Amino acid sequence: MQLNTLFQLLAVKENTPEFLEQADCLLFMPDFLHWALCGSRLTEFTIGSTSQCMNPLTRNWAGGLLKQFGLPMRIFPKIVPPGTTLGSLRPGLSDRTGLAAIRVIAPPSHDTASAVAAVPTAHSGKSNWTYLSSGTWSLMGVETAKASLSARTQELNLTNEGGLDGTYRLLKNIMGLWLVQQCKRSFDARGKVYDYPELAKMAAHSPALRSLVDPDDGRFLNPPDMPKAIQDFCRETNQPIPKTEGQLIRCAYESLALKYRQVLGWLEELTGNRLDVIHIVGGGSQNAILNQFTADACQRPVLAGPVEATAMGNLLVQVRSSGEISSLTEIRDIVRQSSQVKCYQPRDVERWVTAAARFGQFATGTPTTPASHRRSISS
């Protein structure tokens, strides 16, 4: 993806090479905060794994790749797993805050890694569930013991991001509620100011499955006018053009749900496992209409919550490192017992199957639907 660190470093090399010549250490933002707290110069595994600079087999920097691009290996620090004690709080900070020289512990620094650690599944260690971290981006994937490096994984542009306890998060980045947020921004600019609950209510009263878009189409990355971008897509694919605010938001919600169905099929194909339940965490887990559409489109129960999964996972990994929690399973048990999780059951099977067939005509990278997914839909 164009936002990955590798591309940013290549841009620096091309445009301001003196920065690389002067630098002696590369710190990602979480690692920089750790340095500010305790002076450590280390890379935490989960954030480093998203850079496209790491070898997923060795779990270390991809030296051959970096050398081919002419990037200096000397700036890449040692990689440490989440839960590592990095040092003690700097004396100056201890004095200013009144805190003792407390330990600074690296959590899973990538926000989705912390969120997945806090997924309230009762089946930790099993391979029959998928997570969906729902917010501006949607990140949908599974927890795996090893990175998936097949040609098919590359073809579908799935990523292997680091997780807790040496796991990987095989996932797809999906253009999430950005579609809705940017529509709201355009509505506001035109003097039609609605809050998100109002937009959801308007969407609920608009015609169902009338107009669909592929959320991952490049035109939706950062258009100057999101409603126009959605309307242009519908026009070009010979669909009814959504005109009202409710129609546009419903189009975004339903399209996201059908994209989740598509990615669910990919994950089942790549893992060979049937995924029986979808756990939605993050801010988007509060969106009842999208949660229900997701259950309907995927024909899987959806368990929504907690909203603050990232903060909970971050905190509880640090607690575990202090010896008060024994395992990832216990972390998830604590989250499950401490959170309100709402269940959405699938409905309207045939209508969503028909819509999925339409969606598949223009959605990018549509795979052959695996047998396990076909059975679940027909049942």
Known catalytic residues are 111
Buried/exposed 196-207: b ≥16 CB within 10 Å, e otherwise: eeebbebbeebe
* C-alpha separations of 355 from 258, 261, 267, 348 in Å: 8, 11, 20, 11
User: Which tokens is 230 given?
Assistant: 């959605």
Helix (H, G, I), strand (E, B) or coil at 188: helix
Residue 242: other Cβ atoms inside 10 A: 24
Q: Say which DSSP state 77 is in.
A: -
User: Which tokens is 375 given?
Assistant: 């059975």
Reference 29, options 10, 5, 53; nearest CA is 5
Q: Are 338 and 307 in contact (CB under 8 A)?
A: no
Give the integer Cα–Cα distance in Å for 229 and 119: 34
Give the integer Cα–Cα distance in Å for 376 and 379: 5
Phi, psi of 143 (to 5 degrees): -90, 125
**SS3 track for 307-376:** CCHHHHHHHHHHHHHCCCCCCHHHHHHHHHHHCCCEEECCCCHHHHHHHHHHHCCCCCCCCCCCHHHHHH
Give the integer Cα–Cα distance in Å for 310 and 46: 13
Reference 107, options 289, 267, 319, 302; nearest CA is 319
Residue 358: other Cβ atoms inside 10 A: 14
